[in-house]
Amino acid sequence: MTAMEKKDPFIAGICIPAVGEAGKTGDWSDLKPVIDQAKCIPASKNKPACFLCWLYCPDAVVTMTIPVTIDLDYCKGCGICAEECPANAIKMVRKVECDESL
């Protein structure tokens, strides 16, 4: 073992499979999904139904709960949930409104 190798338990590209192991990856995005719970099918009908956002989310940050929640710490802002929502209950909005003049 060299001195460099003693500083880190992993000498190769190996990680522990755990939430947050790669950092809070939600900060990559500049768009975030916002749910209108009045339109969202599970919330408005108070029934475990639809959940297409949960099904399609490629990052598994959507919960299959009433109401549906999205973990913005890890949401990449791809917008697939908004695209798939049959009730148009999800809108993608800018996290920080940019000054258009800049």
Partner 1 sequence: MSHCELITGNEAAAYAVKLVKPHVIAAYPITPQTSLSEKISLYIESGEIKAEYVTVESEHSAMTVLISASTMGARTFTATSANGLLYMHEQLHWAAGSRLPIVMCCVNRGVGAPWSIFNDQQDSFSQRDAGWIQMYCRNNQEIIDTVIQAYRIAEEVYIPVMVCYDGFILSHTMMPVEIPEESLVQEFLPPYTPHTEISPESPKTVNPVFFPWRRENHEGVLCDGYMEKRYKLQDALLHSADIIRRTNRDFAAMFGRDWGGMTWEYRTDDADIFIVGMGSLAMEATVAADELRRGGIRAGVLGIRVFRPFPCREVADALRGARAIIVFEKCVSYGQTGGFSTDLKAALYGTGITAPLHNYVAGLGGRDVKARELTEAVEGSLTAIDGGDGEHKTVWLNCFTG
Structure tokens at 82: 């908004």
By CB under 8 A, name the binding residues for partner 1.
Answer: 2, 4-5, 8-23
> What does the angle CA 19 – CA 24 – CA 26 come to, to the nearest 5 degrees?
110
Q: Which is nearer to partner 1, 24 or 47 (CB)?
A: 24
Place of tokens 């549906």: 68
> What does the angle CA 39 – CA 86 – CA 68 come to, to the nearest 5 degrees?
55
Q: Which is nearer to partner 1, 5 or 83 (CB)?
A: 5
Q: Which is nearer to partner 1, 59 or 84 (CB)?
A: 59
- Please state the closest distance from residue 17 (CB atom) to partner 1, in A: 5
Q: Which amino acid is at 3?
A: A
- Please state the closest distance from residue 57 (CB atom) to partner 1, in A: 19
Q: Which is nearer to partner 1, 22 or 96 (CB)?
A: 22
- Please state the closest distance from residue 78 (CB atom) to partner 1, in A: 16
- Please state the closest distance from residue 22 (CB atom) to partner 1, in A: 6
Structure tokens at 91: 């809108």
Return d(Cα 63, Cα 65) in angstroms, integer. 5
